[in-house]
């Protein structure tokens, strides 16, 4: 299954998605980039292996449910849009040529359109009846097999992080991805077909922008050096480098037959090997394991700030020795993790604007 969601603010539309798919082939890796165990049993495997957002021209589409069928439907929307140049007409043409509903192989879409006077957000088949729905400001749609508790937290996400958008759409999207990524840190979701790296994009009236370059640091109790996962998108490829798996990975999804996925993935795999050593990220996201705390630090691709300093020794053999959090920052975080513990689901979020040295 999947977890794909879209939501709309006054000025932007956002789409975010996990990277796990359920198929027959055995996973090539034993764990996700965030350390979740991949599943292979009874001829079915659940593993982190796909980018579930596709972009073409003015449209960005999140894929949910039957992955192959969702790709076909997205391709149909793209083709119709090229003829009509109107998103709602393109969606309705796709529906007319893909009924009747409910579908035998259930697939769902979240569709974002770039254009004026403001971007638009649609969902398709959210109710398994082939329904097309458009959303207004402050509305969102979660699709997939995520647990009810996390769906509730996602709805709270739209409200709780709204103030962060004043820092820009990139900061707001980063905050949302950090919260979504924390779900798998605290709960094992692979059994539900959800997990792996979350990625996303923002859509304004003028542009479709993939997520910023992010570095996740996971605060594991008892460890002074934290595990790190770096993610970025280049040329519609999700590139991930993790100190948990100690290998770079590249994910991409195409809805056209002309796309040579193997060639492009090999090309970006070489970039992925050096990406995490570049030490230049737009944001650093701190995920607490002991307490449900997410802290986003704006870096603006600086190699050090008042909060985070990156080790300049690129020859170091220690894969996680190239960053340090200053003492004041660590103290602040540790205090937020201390007992007495509140309810295990108490959620805390913090955003720290860029602070150069």
Q: Would you say the pTM of this structure is higher than 0.85? A: yes
**CA–CA dist 210, 174 (Å, integer):** 11
- Bond prior to 117 in cis (omega within 30° of 0): yes
Residue (of 139, 183, 169) closest to 283 by Cα position: 169
Q: Which tokens sit at 330? A: 């660590």
Q: Tens place of pLDDT for every residue, the chain, 357 residues?
A: 689 999 999 899 999 999 999 888 888 889 999 999 999 887 789 999 999 999 999 999 999 999 999 999 999 999 999 999 999 999 999 999 887 777 777 899 999 999 989 999 999 999 888 999 999 998 999 999 888 888 888 877 777 777 788 889 999 999 999 999 999 998 888 988 899 999 999 999 999 999 999 999 998 877 777 888 999 999 899 999 998 998 889 998 988 766 676 777 777 877 887 777 778 899 999 998 888 888 899 999 988 888 887 765 555 555 444 567 777 777 776 676 555 454 556 678 888 889 866
Three-state DSSP state, 204: coil
Helix intervals (H) in the chain: 67-84, 87-96, 148-160, 169-186, 261-275, 327-337
Residue 210 near residue 225, CB atoms below 8 Å = no
Residue 306 near residue 355, CB atoms below 8 Å = yes
Cα 120 to chain center, whole Å? 20
- Decide which of 3.40.50.920, 3.60.20.10, 3.40.30.10, 3.90.1640.30 is the CATH code for 3-210: 3.60.20.10
DSSP-assigned letters across all residues of 103-150:
-SS-EEEEEEE--SSS-EEEEESTTSS--EEEE-TT-EEEEES--HHH
Give bridge partners of residue 48 from the DSSP assignment.
20
């Amino acid at each position: 299954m999947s977890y794909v969601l879209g939501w709309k603010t006054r000025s932007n539309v956002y789409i975010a998605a996990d990277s796990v798919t359920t198929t027959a082939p055995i996973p090539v890796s034993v764990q996700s980039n965030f350390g979740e165990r991949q599943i292979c049993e009874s001829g079915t495997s659940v593993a982190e292996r796909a980018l579930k957002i596709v972009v073409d021209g003015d449209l960005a589409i999140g894929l949910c449910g039957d992955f192959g069928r969702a790709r076909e439907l997205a391709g149909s929307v793209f083709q119709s849009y090229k003829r009509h140049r109107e998103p709602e007409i393109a969606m309705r043409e796709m529906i007319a040529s893909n009924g009747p509903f409910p579908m035998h192989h259930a697939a769902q879409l979240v569709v974002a359109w770039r254009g004026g006077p403001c971007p638009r957000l649609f969902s398709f088949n959210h109710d398994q009846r082939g329904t097309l729905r458009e959303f207004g400001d402050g509305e969102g749609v979660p699709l997939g097999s995520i647990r009810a508790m996390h769906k509730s937290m996602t709805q709270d996400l739209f409200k709780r992080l709204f103030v962060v958008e004043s820092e820009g759409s990139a900061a707001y999207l980063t905050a949302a991805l950090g919260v979504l990524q924390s779900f798998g840190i605290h709960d094992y979701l692979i059994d539900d077909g959800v997990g792996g790296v979350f990625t996303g994009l923002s859509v304004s009236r003028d542009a479709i922008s993939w997520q910023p370059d992010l570095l996740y640091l996971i605060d594991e109790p008892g460890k002074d050096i934290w595990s790190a996962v770096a993610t970025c998108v280049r040329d519609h490829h999700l590139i991930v480098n993790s100190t948990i798996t100690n290998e770079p990975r590249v994910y991409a999804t195409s809805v056209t037959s002309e796309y040579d996925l193997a060639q492009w993935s090999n090309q970006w795999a070489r970039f992925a090997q050096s990406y995490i050593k570049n030490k230049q990220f737009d944001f650093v996201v701190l995920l607490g394991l002991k307490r449900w705390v997410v802290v986003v630090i704006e870096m603006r691709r600086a190699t050090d700030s008042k909060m985070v300093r990156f080790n300049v020794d690129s020859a170091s053999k220690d894969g996680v020795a190239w960053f340090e959090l200053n003492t004041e920052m660590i103290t602040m975080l540790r205090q937020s993790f201390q007992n007495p513990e509140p309810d295990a689901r108490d959620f805390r979020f913090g955003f720290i604007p860029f602070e150069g040295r």
